[in-house]
Amino acid sequence: MSASPRNGASSPSVAAPAAGRSANSERLRARAVWLYYAEGMKQNEIAEALGTTRVTIVRLLADARRRNEVRITISSSMAELAGLEVEISRRYGIEDVIICPSSDVVSDPTQSIAASAGAYLGGLMQPGMSVGVGWGKTLHSMLQFIESQTLSDLSVVSLLGGFSHVRHFNPADFAWRFAELFQGEGYLVPAPALVDSPETKRALIESCGIGEVFDKARNLDMVLLSVGGIAKGSTSFQTGYLSDAERKDLKAAGAVGDLLYNFIDAEGRLVDHSVNERTISVSLEQLANAKARILVSGGPEKVDVLHGAIAAIRPSALVTDDASAKALLAM
């Protein structure tokens, strides 16, 4: 079972180490290879992240090359990651689990998860598919790891309204760029992600063409989603639509984060808060009805909401990091 994207993606790989090497040495070498080739870190940065010296990192990389452990594709068979994948699959009933290695020191696993998800997803894309997409830092980071190709009759549907003021990430931008990678047709939601009242939401859906886009989301072949945490610095709270007071209210109501601005608790239930009545996004029920449901996310601040999202949409595939996987199993 691979610990990273399969299907021949253009990324480095870590094969099983020779017999006789200790588990710690194997793990350190595998992490050094991953950080150097997949994440593009410099040798001195890797040394700092792994708590060792640059000389050691140089030796580990040279040793990996000598052992022919660095290839064009990622096919790591590290026992720990394979074991985690099996445990997560059994515990949560997820058919395909991809877990990438991450440094114990570097707390943000976004790039590792994005690299794994990008190559994995590239192998799933087929002509004639209809794909619904979410947004966020992890999904945007994933774009650079997807090999572009032309797929006929491909439809990409944005599952969330847009933002008029956003620093780096926007649902409409991600949907458009994702569709462009495959020369597909993009369908965007012509409305903000959050409106002032349930009445405005209803009027927009019924009279302004949003309903037509949401209709396309009723029979999707695949949905590609990430989750947002509840912390003040989370991407969902950098858009300007929600105040810190509302964030605290959501947290008090039991929210641990959001899935397309649907704020849920750790068991995947929508919390009782007015924000959930004003969100212009596809419902959790619709997401759960897609034929394939790919959930891509990780990090210490997202474990609770990952747990909730798994319960809410029953993903067919999960891409996350080893630390998040261990935390999920501990819940």
Contact 117, 144 (CB under 8 A): no
For the record, the structure tokens of 31 come out as 């992490």
For the record, the structure tokens of 74 come out as 């990622």
DSSP 280-298: -B--HHHHHTSSEEEEE--
Total-model pTM:
0.74
Highest mean pLDDT among 62-76, 192-206, 316-330: 316-330
What is residue 232's predicted lDDT score, i.e. its pLDDT? 78
SS3 content of the chain, % helix, strand, coil (to 5): 45, 15, 45
Over range 187-195, report the average pLDDT: 87
Low-confidence winner among 7-21, 112-126, 232-246, 248-262 (lowest mean pLDDT): 7-21
CA distance linking residue 285 with residue 114, whole number of Å: 26
Cβ neighbours of residue 58 closer than 8 Å, sequence gap 6 or more: 43
Helix (H) or strand (E) holding 115: helix 110-122
Chain position carrying tokens 């029920």: 285
Beta bridge partners of 257: 229, 264
Burial 192-220 (b: 16+ CB within 10 A, else e): bbbbeeeeebeebbeeeebeebbebbeeb
CA distance linking residue 81 with residue 79, whole number of Å: 6
What is residue 310's predicted lDDT score, i.e. its pLDDT? 98
> What pLDDT, in 10s, does the model give residues 287-307?
999 999 999 999 999 999 999
Q: Residue type for 137, please? A: K
Helix (H, G, I), strand (E, B) or coil at 321: strand
Q: Please report the domains of the chain, with CATH numbers, ordered by start residue.
A: 79-330 (3.40.50.1360)
Over range 257-266, report the average pLDDT: 95
Helix (H) or strand (E) holding 257: strand 257-259
* pLDDT of residue 12 exceeding 60: no
